[in-house]
Amino acid sequence: MTEDQFLPTETYSSQLEGSVTVQSPSNIALIKYWGKYGEQLPKNASISFTLSNCHTKTTLKYKPKIGEDSVFEVYLDETLAPNFKPKIEQFFARIERYIPLVKEYDFIIETTNSFPHSSGIASSASGMSALAMCLVELEQKLLSEPMSHEQGLQKASFLARLGSGSAARSIEGPLVVWGKHPKIKGSSNLVGTLYPYEVHPVFQDYQNTILLVETGEKQVSSTVGHNLMHDHPFSEQRFQQANGNLSKLTPILKEGDVEAFINIVESEALSLHAMMMTSNPYFILMKPNTLEIINRIWKYRRETGSHICFTLDAGANVHVLYLKNEKSEVLQFIQSELKIFCKEGKFIEDRTGKGAKTLK
């Protein structure tokens, strides 16, 4: 696969006015992407569960541009959100050679998140994938020979990646790989692809409850975080570790070996945070309550034999992962023992999902 295959093959034959709405989920990485090069290319392969309830809904209103340059406005929850513009401007600048309609149309982008704004949940994966998918839907309408459904999804993932790396993994689900890996057929640095091998039923409807330990702006932006890997003393070992963990995951996913899965997933979460603690400048993104929760999960697992585990993204919130058939016990445990460590007692129940969808 090369970038060139995403270049436009024809000039648009029509000019349209209308709107398209897409709902796209967030995702949670099991093997983490941390470190990138070139134009949004990952230093190692990653894999994630696509989520279901945590999603962004974006309506893209379009009409042929009036002035010399195309213009757009962004609304979050029906309120003008100029602070979103620079990121989207940068996104449009990166993708215009692949989807020239961004220079030919004026847009109004209306977006809402299912999760509370400033809940500390990264909205860039769901937000960028939703916008990328809207643009591909519009392009399909303008092409005299539309792309196949699969090509459209691939292009949406390709564009989403240029907005935010992890967004490439939100177009499809429930398990998506992003980043070239020698043992994963079809994997690519350019797009997220559905995990191509057998997955045991226990991993097919996995539960994920997000404990909101800290809300508000991220302490370290992902751009800053990824850049820390450039001169990092352990970066090469980390990229090898991640790729090695992904190799190990293949038989684990096939055989339904939940214990081995837990070991890799928790190790990945802590390795990600270890990278931040050992970079320069260094950061501790976990909070005391994050550690409390982790210790309580370990204790509960030891004492009950539950298959509960945790992962973290680049912040203090804890993603609790568990099997569907342990759902009622785990939710009870969260209510009685973990909720007190959440900001205002807040947590979000979620599970694996299928990716972005266009709403009629």
| Contacting residues toward ligand DP6, per CB under 6 A | 29, 32-34, 40, 46, 122, 124, 164-166, 222-223, 226, 272, 313-314
C-beta closer to ligand DP6: residue 90 or 237: 90
Nearest distance, CB of residue 178 and ligand DP6, angstroms: 8
Nearest distance, CB of residue 16 and ligand DP6, angstroms: 30
Nearest distance, CB of residue 40 and ligand DP6, angstroms: 6
Handedness of CA 78, 84, 85, 88 (dihedral sign): negative
> CA-to-CA distance for 159 and 29, rounded, in angstroms?
19
Strand intervals (E) in 281-359 = 309-312, 318-322, 347-351, 357-359
Nearest distance, CB of residue 227 and ligand DP6, angstroms: 9
> CA-to-CA distance for 194 and 171, rounded, in angstroms?
9
C-beta closer to ligand DP6: residue 70 or 189: 189
Residue whose beta carbon is closest to ligand DP6: 165
C-beta closer to ligand DP6: residue 172 or 300: 172
> CA-to-CA distance for 172 and 312, rounded, in angstroms?
21
C-beta closer to ligand DP6: residue 20 or 130: 130
Nearest distance, CB of residue 315 and ligand DP6, angstroms: 8
> CA-to-CA distance for 181 and 176, rounded, in angstroms?
13
C-beta closer to ligand DP6: residue 70 or 243: 243
C-beta closer to ligand DP6: residue 115 or 333: 115
Token pair for 68: 């010399």
CA 227 centroid distance within chain = 18
Nearest distance, CB of residue 155 and ligand DP6, angstroms: 18
**Parallel, antiparallel, or unpaired for β 192-194 and 105-113?**
unpaired
| 179 closest CA partner among 245, 277, 231 | 245
